[in-house]
């Protein structure tokens, strides 16, 4: 692992991230992620660890968003398909009902 030089008169000290509560852990980080963390750290003037936390936070936010999208997709599909499995096969939803089921406002939609 390369040694990091201490801040000198020519290099400004790195900004520290605010302390957060949470568990301490030791992880083996893949080289590709270390490279991305080092790049982000250099761009923002922060430590590698702070950059790893930022990347992990962004990844967690992305995962949550993908889960929300999947839940919404499944709900919309179920709303459309409920008519396809009805007892009376000759009845289909109107175009307005289909549009409302697919594109209608949902309480969890971001503003």
Residue range 78-96: mean pLDDT, rounded: 71
Banded pLDDT at 79 (limits 50, 70, 90): confident
Residue 49 backbone dihedrals phi, psi, to 5 degrees: -60, -45
pTM of the predicted structure, to 2 decimals: 0.56
Please state, in angstroms and rounded to a whole number, the distance separating the CA atoms of residues 102 and 82. 13
Local confidence band at 101 (pLDDT 50, 70, 90 cut-offs): confident
Residue 92 token pair? 């289909």
Question: Does the pLDDT at position 110 exceed 80?
Answer: no
Closest CA to 109 of 72, 54, 61: 72
Q: Which tokens is 102 given?
A: 């697919």
């Amino acid at each position: 692992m390369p040694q990091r030089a201490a801040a000198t008169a020519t290099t400004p000290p790195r900004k520290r991230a605010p302390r957060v509560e949470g568990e301490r852990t030791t992880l083996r980080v893949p080289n590709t992620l270390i490279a991305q963390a080092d790049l982000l750290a250099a761009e923002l003037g922060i430590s590698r660890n702070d950059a790893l936390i930022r990347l992990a936070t962004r990844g967690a936010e992305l995962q949550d968003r993908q889960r929300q999208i999947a839940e919404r997709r499944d709900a919309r599909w179920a709303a459309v398909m409920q008519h396809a499995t009805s007892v009376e096969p000759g009845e289909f939803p109107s175009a307005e009902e289909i549009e409302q089921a697919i594109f209608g406002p949902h309480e969890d939609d971001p503003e």
